[in-house]
Amino acid sequence: MKSQKLGRGLDALLGEIDEAYENEGTQRESILEIPLKDIRPNPFQPRKTFDETALHELAESIKNDGLLQPIVVTEDIDGYILIAGERRFRASKLAKLKEIKAIVLNSDEQKMRQFALIENIQREELNSMELAEAYNELIKLHEITHDELATMIHKSRAHITNTLRLLQLSTKTQKALTEKKISAGHAKVLVGLDEKEQQLMVNSIIGQKLSVRELEGMVKSMKQKNIQATKTEQKSDEEALDLSELKQKLNSLGFLAKTSQNKVTVSFDSQEEIREFLSHFTN
C-alpha cells in the first residue's frame, strides 16, 4: 500500500507543472510579468552544467520571437524562487530582458526539489552524473525501488540501475564523465575498479581514444591479471612446512625423496621398491 500511495503522489507531481502549462491559454491572469532581478534560482536544481553556446542561441531566439513558454516560480518572502525553466531564465538574462513571463505556483521546499528533478529528467537535459544523482534523490524522497521509479518515469529498470551505478565511480572519474572526456558507456565499464585502476583506464581512454569495446577488453585483461596475482600471492603466503625430517627418514629407509614447496616426491626404480615402501604402512 505504501508504494502505491507514493506512486500516486509522484504521478500527481509529474502532472502538476504540465497542468499549469495546459491551463496557460485559458487562465492568462495566472501568468505574470516578473522582473528578472526578483527571481532567485532553485537551490535544489540538480543540473550543474549548462551549454553556453546553446544558452546564447536560446537568448537570440527569445530576443527575436519572445519567450514562448513561461517559467514556473513560487512566491518567496523577498521575491520569487524559480521552480522550472532555468535555461529560459538564464537565456532571458543573457538577452538582457528586464522581465519574464512566469506562472506562480504554491510550493514548499520538498516540492521545489521534486519539480526541479522531474522537469530536468523529462526534458532529458541532465548529464549522466546529474541524472544518477536525480534518480538517487527521487528514490530517497519517495522511498521507492528501482522498479517503481522505472515505471513512474517510463524508463527501463536496467537504465535506472546502470545509471545509479555511476555514483560508485571515483570523484576524478565522475569529473571526466561530466566534462565529456569519457562517455557514459566508458564510465559503466569502469564501475567496480579501484580508484587507481579507474584513473589508469581514464588516461588510456583519453590518450589512446579507446572505444567502449576496446576498453572492455583492457579491463577484462586487467581483471584476469589481478586474479592471477592474487592467487600467486596467496600461494606465497602459505606457511612453509619443514619437511627435512621426513625426507631424512625416507632416505634412511633407502628411498629417494625430494622436497619442494610443501611437497614430498618419492622416486622408485622397481615394483619391489614400491611394495617395500607400502609395507611400512601395513601392520
pLDDT digits (tens, 9 = 90+) for 75-122: 877 888 888 788 888 888 888 888 888 888 776 666 666 666 776 676
Q: Which residues lie below 8 Å from residue 10, measured CB to CB, with a gap of 6+? A: 114, 138, 142, 144, 152
- Annotated active-site residue 86? The verdict is yes
Catalytic residue from among 86, 125, 130, 133: 86
Contact 42, 86 (CB under 8 A): yes
DSSP run (H or E) holding 83: strand 79-84
Whose CA is closest to 105, among 122, 123, 119?
A: 119
**Angle in degrees, 0-180, between the axes of helices 146-153 and 2-22, rounded to the nearest 10:** 20
pLDDT digits (tens, 9 = 90+) for 155-172: 888 989 999 999 999 999
Q: Give the position of cell 500511495.
A: 5
Torsion angles phi and psi, residue 154, rounded to 5: 60, 45
Torsion angles phi and psi, residue 76, rounded to 5: -125, 175
Name the least confident of 10-14, 22-26, 169-173, 246-250: 22-26
Q: What angle do CA 16, 21, 24 make, to 5 degrees?
A: 130
CA distance 148 to 37: 40
SS3 labels along 214-262 = HHHHHHHHHHHHHHHHHHHHHHHCCCCCCCHHHHHHHHHCCCEEEEECC
CA distance 227 to 204: 21
Provide the pairing of β-strand 71-76 with 79-84: antiparallel
3-state secondary structure of 77: coil
Helices (H) and strands (E) in the chain, counts: 13, 7
3-state secondary structure of 5: helix
Percent of the chain whose predicted confidence (pLDDT) is above 70: 77
Mean pLDDT of the chain: 78
- Give one word for 209, left, alpha or beta, with left for phi > 0 and alpha for psi -120 to 50: left
21 compared with 40, residue with greater pLDDT? 40
